[in-house]
């Protein structure tokens, strides 16, 4: 029996995890985030209504589901409150089911300025194409043992002293390294203390809660953010995010022991996209790339940036399968390929071709026939054209993991479930 499941991105993010988590939440009691921050953008479409979540776990739209933000998440209190207020305006009751770990390092206003300064000036390495949400600088402070944890806001005078010292350091960098404006301490303190007071009832010992739920037999879903190839250790460094996005982080970022994680569902588009800079071996710059961008509506849900598009990279997803122990795949956006005459899948990279001028590996492709019929909204494998089924089978074989779910449209209902991950 599956009691706990990790759902994570097997590519460079934006694989459609939000929809899948929301779909599986029908069967779970708890959804927990364990890394990243509000750089994530999880889009859910329910009965035609679109919701984009950045920080709250994607289970939040299901009444009665407990939503946990684990210690591995870097927390912008402002972003969390914005999201809570937005959902409350729509009549959702959620404060009594959101639990935020007191161990979350806080994102300060200065982290955001530092992130943006690093991207716009050429100091401290080249541009990464970050989401500009302060994620990198906040994780730096965590590892540098300078971070302020959410729980530290409980003691307001202690919090103020810590904030003043950390802001001193950030302001030094902003002024002298980046030649930018400083952040005003009193303003930041008052703003953050106000936010902390509002969030206080939601601060919890999330480690204890998760284990209590596990011991009571509740089903728990761990929701990853970004994608495996953006992992700080295993991704396309330095063009990565600043957290571990792979399954081990579900344990460290929540306090759940790794042997309590039963299965890992890797979510991958049937093609590939990437936002931000960095290597992308199968990237397309032609009409097919435009087709994917247009049909797939490939614009970042956090920043609105256009996503780069390319063929499915089985080599990359195979790597993701290994480093995450992916037990099953969820393939998304199958319908975006409808109408393409021929499809290519990258099955490896050309031997000995190190890197070409553009810094990209040379992919080796296998060509497969496309299909003309619409797969949009299909709910059973038998409804798919034979070539679509063959394409999926090919992915399964080259990646080396079974396909459990196929998504054929944005709505929760537009899904083919071959094997229920929570069996
Ligand atoms: P950061 O996480 O804002 O520091 O950005 C680092 C890299 O991760 C950039 O290439 C971003 O575009 C990418 N990134 C961060 N969050 C997401 C996401 O949720 N989806 C896709 N890419 C992301």
In the structure encoding, which two tokens stand for residue 21, read together? 């988590």
Sheet arrangement for strand 312-313: 312-313, 342-349, 363-369
Query: What superfamily does domain 27-100+205-260 belong to in CATH?
Result: Adenylosuccinate Synthetase, subunit A, domain 1 (3.40.440.10)
Is residue 14 part of the annotated active site? The answer reads yes
Ligand 1 nearest atom to the CA of residue 42, by list position: 19
Q: H helices within 7-108, ranges in order?
A: 17-24, 77-89
Which residue out of 38, 42, 111, 234 is catalytically annotated?
A: 42
Q: Are 77 and 101 in contact (CB under 8 A)?
A: no
Mean pLDDT value across residues 231-254: 97
The yes-or-no answer to whether 27-100+205-260 and 267-417 have a common fold is: no
Sequence ranges of the domains in the chain: 27-100+205-260, 109-199, 267-417
User: Using CA positions, which residue lies closest to atom 5 of ligand 1?
Assistant: 130
CA of 249 relative to ligand 1 center, distance in Å: 17
Q: Is 50 exceeded by the pLDDT of residue 357?
A: no
Measure 290 CA to ligand 1 centroid, in angstroms.
Answer: 22
211 counts as catalytic: no
- Cα(289)–Cα(50) distance, rounded to whole angstroms? 25
Tell me the two tokens of residue 191. 């703003």
Quick one: average pLDDT of 366-380? 97
User: Which pLDDT value is given to residue 48?
Assistant: 76
d(CA 261, CA 271): 28
Give the pLDDT of residue 126.
Answer: 79
Instruction: Give the three-class secondary structure for 265.
Output: strand
Going by C-beta distance under 8 Å and a sequence separation of 6 or more, which residues neighbour residue 226? 9, 12, 13, 35, 36, 39, 40, 241, 243, 245
User: What is 267-417's CATH topology?
Assistant: Adenylosuccinate Synthetase; Chain A, domain 3 (3.90.170)
- Best substitution site from 39, 128, 138, 139 to test ligand 1's pocket, by max atoms within 8 Å of Cβ? 39
> Model confidence at 45, in pLDDT bands (50, 70, 90)?
confident
- pLDDT surpassing 70 at residue 359: no
User: Which architecture does CATH list for 109-199?
Assistant: Orthogonal Bundle (1.10)
**225 vs 355 pLDDT, higher one:** 225
State which of 15, 241, 273 you would mutate to test the pocket of ligand 1, scoring each by most atoms of that ligand within 8 A of its C-beta.
241
Cα–Cα distance for residue pair 386/116, rounded to 1 Å: 48
343 HSE (CA, 13 A, CB side): 29
Residues framing ligand 1 (Cβ under 6 A): 13-14, 39-41, 128-131, 133, 135-136, 225-226, 230, 239, 241-242, 275-276, 302
Residue nearest atom 11 of ligand 1, based on CA coordinates: 130
CA of 107 to the centre of ligand 1 (A): 16
Which tokens hold the place of 106? 């806080």
Q: What is the pLDDT of residues 14-40, one digit of tens each?
A: 999 988 998 999 999 999 999 999 999
Is the pLDDT score of 307 beyond 50?
yes
* Spatial CA neighbour of 88 closest among 98, 74, 102: 98
For the chain, how many helices (H) and strands (E)?
11, 17
Q: Please give the average per-residue pLDDT across 62-82, as a whole number.
A: 97
Q: How far is the CA of 56 from the centre of ligand 1 (A)?
A: 17
Distance 210 CA to ligand 1 centre (A): 27
């Amino acid at each position: 029996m599956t009691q706990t499941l990790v759902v994570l991105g097997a590519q460079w993010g934006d694989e459609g995890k939000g929809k899948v988590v929301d779909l599986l939440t029908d069967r779970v009691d708890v959804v927990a985030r364990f890394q990243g921050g509000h750089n994530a953008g999880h889009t859910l479409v329910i009965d035609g209504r679109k919701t984009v979540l950045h920080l709250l776990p994607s289970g939040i739209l299901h009444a009665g589901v407990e939503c946990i933000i684990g210690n591995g998440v870097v927390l912008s209190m402002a972003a969390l409150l914005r999201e809570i207020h937005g959902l409350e305006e729509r009549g959702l009751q959620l404060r009594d089911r959101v639990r935020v770990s007191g161990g979350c390092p806080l994102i300060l206003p200065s982290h955001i300025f530092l992130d943006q300064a690093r991207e716009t000036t050429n100091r401290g390495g080249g541009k990464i194409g970050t989401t500009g949400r302060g994620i990198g600088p906040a994780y730096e402070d965590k590892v540098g043992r300078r971070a302020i944890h959410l729980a530290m806001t409980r003691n307001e005078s202690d919090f103020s002293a810590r904030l003043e010292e950390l802001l001193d350091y950030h302001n030094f960098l902003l002024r002298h390294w980046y030649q930018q404006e400083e952040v005003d301490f009193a303003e930041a303190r008052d703003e953050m203390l106000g936010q902390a007071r509002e969030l206080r009832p939601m601060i919890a010992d999330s480690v204890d809660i998760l284990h209590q739920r596990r011991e009571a037999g509740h089903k728990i879903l761990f929701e990853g953010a970004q994608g495996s190839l953006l992992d700080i250790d295993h991704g396309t460094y330095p063009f990565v995010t600043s957290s571990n996005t792979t399954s081990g982080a579900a344990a460290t970022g929540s306090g759940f022991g790794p042997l309590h994680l039963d299965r890992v569902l890797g979510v991958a588009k049937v093609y590939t996209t990437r936002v931000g800079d960095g290597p992308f071996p199968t990237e397309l710059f032609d009409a097919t790339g435009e087709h994917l961008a247009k049909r797939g509506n490939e614009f970042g849900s956090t920043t609105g940036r256009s996503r780069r598009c390319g063929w499915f990279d089985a080599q990359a997803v195979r790597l993701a399968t290994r480093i995450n122990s992916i037990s099953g795949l969820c393939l998304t956006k199958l319908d975006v390929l409808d109408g393409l005459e021929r499809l290519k899948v990258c099955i490896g990279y050309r031997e000995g071709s190190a890197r070409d001028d553009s810094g990209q590996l040379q992919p080796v492709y296998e060509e497969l026939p496309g299909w003309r019929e619409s797969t949009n909204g299909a709910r059973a494998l038998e409804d798919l054209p034979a070539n679509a089924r063959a394409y999926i089978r090919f992915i399964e074989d080259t990646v080396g993991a079974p396909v459990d779910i196929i998504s054929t449209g944005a709505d929760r209902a537009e899904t083919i479930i071959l094997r229920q991950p929570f069996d």
